[in-house]
Structure 1
């Protein structure tokens, strides 16, 4: 099992099945259409969709990230940070931990999608070397009915 230490006394480790409730809650707090606890439990225990959590020594989860392996590519499916932990480097820590975990995988490139109005995420991904490779107009539904465009980004891992 791998651990990565952070300056905020958090570390990153693979999620456990018992984390599904917290992960689903964090996802629902950060996205208009959150996934259920059952969906996250299936991802956490399934093959090809590793989920990592940033947590303290008591396993209080500050954030999480989920990947999907696609041969030589890996997709960042979702990432969310608890509101009280935002702007403290947790997202950056999670991403760096993912990059390190992927060193032992066949993945050569990471892909992700991000809403075009998610400025904090776009800044983070730009800082990490992701570049825009496309977009999907009207991809993300919004509560007011106006869909947001998804920016597709990629970054080489090697």
Structure 2
């Protein structure tokens, strides 16, 4: 029997900021939270390639233990090209940290997945410190050259989550 994926997204009133995107195919199972860089084109009804890849990963891990994903971002401002987001007055968004923490607290697994641009405004440090203060264990798919976690879209589909020991990485750019 094929299960239907339920879709949901939380935007601000202007829809310039997307705080959370959820896909549920089995509400009884645990949730995987992916912390990515910034929202692209996915919304309540449309899955972009990142969402599709995150769903594929979650379904493949731990013998089908997970039944949903939630995607939150370091920067909640929506855009397809990050260099343009750097010119926005507030790319983070006023409610972003709250959504990240709430999502992570309710997750069975948290995946850091923002790629190399997480160093912008030292945002990765801020978010990882927040998660650490809540005793939330963070995993990643792989680590890039300068210590940032690999984005799901660019990760081998057979990767398994591994602990992201970011404080042990000495070569992260700041």
Give the shorter-chain TM-score range: 0.3 to 0.5
Which structure's residues are more often strand, by fraction? Answer: 1
TM-score by length of 2: 0.36
Identify which of structures 1 and 2 has the higher relative contact order when contacts are C-alpha pairs closer than 8 Å and 6+ apart: 2
Q: TM-score, normalised by structure 1?
A: 0.38
